[in-house]
Amino acid sequence: MRVSKRVENLPPYLFVEISKKIAEKKARGEEVVSFGIGDPDIPTPSHIIESLCQAAHDPANHRYPESEGLPELRKTIATWYEKRFGVKLDSDKEVLPLIGSKEGIGHISFCFIDPGDIALVPDPGYPVYSVSTMLAGGTSFFLPLLEKNNFLPDLNAIPSDILNKAKLLWLNYPNNPTSAVADLSFFEKAVAFARQHGIPVCHDGPYSEVAYDGYKPVSFMQASGAKDIGVEFHSLSKSYNMTGWRIGMAVGNAEMINALMRIKSNLDSGIAQAIQQAAITALTGPQDCIQQHNDVYQKRRDLVVEMLNRIGLQARPPKASLYVWAKVPAGYNSKSFATELLDKVGVVVTPGTGYGPNGEGYIRLSLTIPDASLVKGLSRLSAWGAGKKL
C-alpha cells in the first residue's frame, strides 16, 4: 500500500512528538512535569456544563446539525463581537461556527490556495498554517518574526515575485508562540497592504480574552476595511476552557465565509447542537470567570518569568496569551536545551524550532499547568540552574 505524497510529506504534529517523549519517560517510572501543551487545566465553568447537559437531553439535538451552525449561535457571536470589539457583523453572511478554530484554519487554505500558490506564513508560528497550505498544494513563504521588530512581520520586505503568487496572508495576535501583541495601527497597515496586493487575510485570534495587567487585546476586525479583505478565527477554547468541546468561529468577509462554509458542508456535518447551546451560554452568561482564570494565569506567569530570569534565561512577562517565550542560555540551541531539561530534571518545554526556523534560540512554556505541578517544575528548573541532576 502506498499513501499519497501529501501524507508522506506531512511532518509529525509537534505535540504528538512531545507526548511521545513524555510517555517514554513515564514508562521508565520517571515523573515528568510538562510546560508543553497549551491546554487549560482549569475546568469549563459549571454553568456552561449544566447548559450542555440539559441540551444533551433534548432529542432535537440528537440529529445531524447544519454545517452553518444554529442561527441563535451565529446571532450570539455577532452580538458578542459588537459588545466586545464594537464590530458589527451580519450573522447570516459574516459569521460561521466551527468545530474548533483549528478546523477552519485547516480548511480555509483549500478555499484560496491552488497548486503552485503561495501563503504568507509567520515564522515562528502555529504549525497548522503551513501544514494546511501544503495539503492544499501550495507553498509557504515564511515571514520572520524577530524580537527587534516586536515579533511583528515586516510586510514591506516581501519580494515582489512572492507577492505576485501570494493568495493568503496569515496573522496571529496575541501570538503563539511568542506571546507578542499587535495594536490597531499594525492591523490598519496590514489591511492597506492586503488591499494593495489583493491578498486575503486570515487572522487567528483565540487569545484575545487571555490578557494581564489590565491589557485588552484588539481584534483585527476593528481595523478600517478589515471586512473587505479578511476574516478572523476565534475560539471558546481558551476564553472559557472549552478545548475538549471543540467550538470556535470565523467572522468577517462574506465571500470568504461562504467559501469556507462550502468546504465545511462537503467535509463535515457541523457542530453537535448541545455544544452550540453551551457556547451560547458561555458567550451570554456571566463573564467574571474569564478574569478569574486570567488572575490564575497571571500569578503563574510571574512565577515562571521570575524563575527563568533567575537561572539565566531571558524572558519578558507577556501581556497576553498562555505562553512565556524565553531565550535559551548561551551554548545551547532550542532542541538541545529542551532535551537537557527533560533528561536532567524531567521538565518538558517546547523547543522554538517546532514553530519554524526563526524559533531557534527560544523555548516556549505554557501556563496551563496546575499550581502544584508548576511549583514542582519551577523547583526542578532551580535545581538545573544550580547544576543538580534529579
Q: Tell me, what CATH number does 29's domain have?
A: 3.90.1150.10
* Whether residues 141 and 278 fall in one domain: yes
pLDDT (0 to 100) of residue 13: 64
Domain boundary among 284, 319, 335: 284
pLDDT (0 to 100) of residue 17: 67
Rounded mean pLDDT, 24-43: 90
Range of the domain at 328: 5-44+288-385
* Whether residues 202 and 307 fall in one domain: no
Could you give the CA distance from residue 198 to residue 151 in angstroms, rounded to a whole number? 24
Q: Is residue 308 part of a domain?
A: yes
Residue matched to cell numbers 510546560: 35
* Whether residues 134 and 213 fall in one domain: yes
With cut-offs at 50, 70 and 90, classify the pLDDT of residue 15.
low
| Cell, residue 221 | 476586525
Residue 389 pLDDT > 60, yes or no?
Answer: no
| Cell, residue 145 | 518574526
Cβ neighbors of 183 (< 8 A, separation 6 or more) are: 218
* Whether residues 51 and 39 fall in one domain: no
Number of domains forming the structure of the chain: 2
* Whether residues 323 and 277 fall in one domain: no
* Whether residues 269 and 324 fall in one domain: no
- Count of residues making up the chain: 390
* Whether residues 94 and 32 fall in one domain: no
* Whether residues 327 and 238 fall in one domain: no
* Whether residues 312 and 192 fall in one domain: no
Q: Is residue 280 part of a domain?
A: yes
Q: Is residue 158 part of a domain?
A: yes
Q: Is residue 21 part of a domain?
A: yes
| Cell, residue 228 | 473587505
Residue 20 pLDDT > 80, yes or no?
Answer: no
Could you give the CA distance from residue 118 to residue 169 in angstroms, rounded to a whole number? 9
Domain boundary among 218, 250, 284: 284
Domain boundary among 284, 307, 339: 284
With cut-offs at 50, 70 and 90, classify the pLDDT of residue 14.
low
| Cell, residue 261 | 462554509
* Whether residues 231 and 93 fall in one domain: yes
* Whether residues 65 and 171 fall in one domain: yes
Q: Is residue 390 part of a domain?
A: no
With cut-offs at 50, 70 and 90, classify the pLDDT of residue 23.
confident
pTM, full prediction: 0.95
Q: Which residue has the higher pLDDT, 16 or 362?
A: 362
Could you give the CA distance from residue 163 to residue 148 in angstroms, rounded to a whole number? 24
* Whether residues 52 and 31 fall in one domain: no
